[in-house]
Amino acid sequence: MVSPESQAQHPSSTMAKHALLRNRASLCFSDGCLFLGGVLMALLLVWSFSSFAYPPSASQTLAASSSSASAAAGAPPECAAAAAPPRDSEESDNFYDDPELSYSMERPMRGWDEKRREWLRQHPSLASGEGGRERVVLVTGSQPSACKNKIGDHLLLRFFKNKVDYCRLHGCDVFYNNVLLQPQMFSFWAKYPVVRAAMLAHPEAEWIWWIDSDALFTDMDFELPLERYKGHNLVVHGWTNLIYEKKSWTSINAGVFLIRNCQWSMDFMDVWAGMGPQSPEYERWGHVLRSTFADKLFPDSDDQSALIYLLLTQKDRYGDKVYVENEYYFEGYWEGIVGTLPNITREYEDMDRQGPPALRRRHAEKASRHYAARRAEAAAGAARKRPFVTHFTGCQPCSGNHNQMYSGESCWNGMVKALNFADNQVLRRYGYVRPDLMDSAVVKPIPFDYPAGGDGGDGGDGGGGEGAR
Ligand SMILES: *[C@@H]1O[C@H](CO)[C@@H](O)[C@H](O)[C@H]1NC(C)=O
């Protein structure tokens, strides 16, 4: 057992302290934990003032002493130059220690940018993601209870798996929520308390990416062009002429959006959600929105109409910060997409067959970004690209109460086709492919140099080494 006294008496114990900090959890699982825990906490508090407030990190201290030693010995100075990366500290106060701060939307957030900046200053290792890219947390979710549609939970599982796959490939984190955080904010509005809470839970994330449970990635390679959104805080898919000229409630889709983790977004969501069911004005907003948008046929105030209304009526105030994307399927309507998937599959196979060998080379899943870039180059001139996100708007996979415009079959079959289309892009990295997009249960092994070495059909070497399990 480590004795706290011996640690405290140790003359230059930065490293020991660090080691002790790391061992705190395991120490606390052994006997005598409670008493020792109290002593440790007291010591840690002292240390946090003496050491963590102006942290000379262990390695900096070491570098400094070795530098003076090596200078004395006449050694070349490069030994001293190995600058230690700044170290994260969990010991300083930050917004989490403010009892007044609330995760709920019921209390407005103030000074979030400063709060977040201070936290980031304390956690330099989390300030940006892989390759210096801005961090993104994907947030999605579904209802707390089982789906009424008998295949609903199965479909939701596959939709969720798709998001997990995408984020494993691209380094985003995923949060799946399945409880109404603020029960008075139900239906369309349930996502805002989740997004708001995710901003607080993930100060390291520059963006929160909301994606409805019935939307999926149908291009597993594509990456958000975050550079493009530099001066913007909210990104939605839509068409500006339909917003401002046609005044259509479907001119954008609020089922997928990217929102910057900043004070502007907190304020904007307060205004936006001010038209929701927790507001005394909810009913009035229902009338206002319905009379503003001739094509909106249902009476309740919904978040999508509310967003378009804010753009329409306060363009000067919000227009600059909202990016309406339509250069790619940031969010795509399934009905126009699903029918094209078999042909897109064929076109991409042709491209892979005729294109450079990199398109056919087997590779580690972790190395996918390199190959995705090669495929994007090859696809630059293609007539059609894989749609990035396909959204089954109106299909309601969980309840099964799909819009009467569509038959249930077209919804469920469309989902299966899209899910398998996407999953084939993942499975390929594991050596398999589903030959039939409508048959979820059957895969075959991919032959070497697929698809150039044959059509990958049953006549290939499926029975050979490739197929060995
Ligand atoms: C798919 O390709 C075939 C053959 O080129 C063509 O006849 C068909 O119309 C295409 N289908 C779609 C939905 O584009």
Question: Per residue in 428-444, pLDDT tens?
Answer: 999 999 999 999 999 99
Higher pLDDT, 44 or 161: 161
Would you say the CB of residue 94 lies under 6 angstroms from ligand 1? no
pLDDT band for 78, please (50, 70, 90 cuts): low
pLDDT, residue 128, reads 86
CB of 343 shorter than 6 A to ligand 1: yes
**Across residues 264-279, what is the average pLDDT?**
97
Mean pLDDT, the chain, whole residue set: 84
Per-residue pLDDT of 186-208, as tens digits, reads 999 999 999 999 999 999 999 99
- Give percent of the chain above pLDDT 90: 74
Ligand 1 center–CA 140 separation, angstroms = 34
Distance from residue 346's CA to the centre of ligand 1 (Å) = 10
Residue nearest to atom 3 of ligand 1 (CA): 343
Kindly give, in sequence order, each residue whose CB lies less than 8 Å from that of residue 66, ignoring residues fewer than 6 positions away.
79, 80
Q: Please report the pLDDT score of residue 85 as a whole number.
A: 67
339 CA to centre of ligand 1 in angstroms: 9
Q: Closest residue (by CA) to atom 14 of ligand 1?
A: 340
**Average pLDDT of the segment spanning 1-22:** 37
**Whole-number pLDDT of residue 56:** 37
Q: Is 339 in the pocket of ligand 1 (CB under 6 A)?
A: yes
Residue with the smallest CA separation from ligand 1 atom 9 is 343
- Asked if 238 and 327 count as a contact pair (C-beta separation under 8 A), the reply is no
For residue 456, report the distance from its CA to the centre of ligand 1, in Å.
21
pLDDT on residue 11: 36
Please compute the mean of the pLDDT values over residues 7-22 and round it to a whole number. 37
Task: Give the Å distance between the CA of 138 and the centre of ligand 1.
Answer: 34
How far away, in angstroms, is 343 Cα from ligand 1 center?
6
Instruction: Choose between 382 and 274: higher pLDDT.
Output: 274
Whether the predicted pLDDT of 100 surpasses 80: yes
Confidence at residue 71, expressed as pLDDT on a 0 to 100 scale: 44
Question: Which pLDDT belongs to residue 129?
Answer: 84
| pLDDT band for position 382 (cuts 50, 70, 90) | confident
**Hey, which of 343, 350, 437 would you mutate to test ligand 1's pocket, going by the most ligand atoms within 8 Å of its Cβ?**
343
Over residues 361-389, the mean pLDDT reads 95
Return the ligand 1 atom nearest residue 340 CA. Answer: 13
Per the DSSP assignment, residues forming a β-bridge with 253 are 237
Of 8-12, 116-120, 239-243, 315-319, minimum mean pLDDT range = 8-12
pLDDT at 122 over 90: yes
What pLDDT was estimated at residue 2?
36
Say yes or no to pLDDT of 15 above 60. no
- Atom 10 of ligand 1, nearest CA residue: 343
Q: Is the CB of 314 under 6 A from ligand 1?
A: no
Bridge partners (DSSP) of residue 176 are 140
Ligand 1 atom nearest residue 343's Cα:
1
Q: What percent of the chain has pLDDT over 70?
A: 78
Query: Closest residue (by CA) to atom 5 of ligand 1?
Result: 343
Judged by average pLDDT, the poorest of 25-34, 63-72, 191-200, 375-384 is 25-34
Q: Does any ligand 1 atom lie closer than 6 A to the CB of residue 340?
A: yes
Q: State the distance from the centre of ligand 1 to the C-alpha of 404, rounded, in angstroms.
A: 27
Residue with the smallest CA separation from ligand 1 atom 2 is 343
Between residues 86 and 410, the one the model is more confident about: 410
Residue owning the nearest CA to atom 1 of ligand 1: 343
CA of 90 to the centre of ligand 1 (A): 58
